[in-house]
Structure 1
Amino acid sequence: MVGAVSEILSVIVLGFNRETNNRLDDLRKDMSVIETARVGLSFAKQIENQEKRDNAISELSLKIQGG
Structure 2
Amino acid sequence: MSETMKFLTLGIAGVALVALCYRFRIIGVRGGGVDRDENPIAYWIAMTVLAAGSLAALALALFK
Q: TM-score, normalised by structure 2?
A: 0.48
Q: Per chain length, whose mean CA-contact separation is higher, i.e. which structure has more relative contact order (CA < 8 Å, sep 6+)?
A: 2
- Structure 1-normalised TM-score? 0.46
Q: Which has the higher helix share?
A: 1
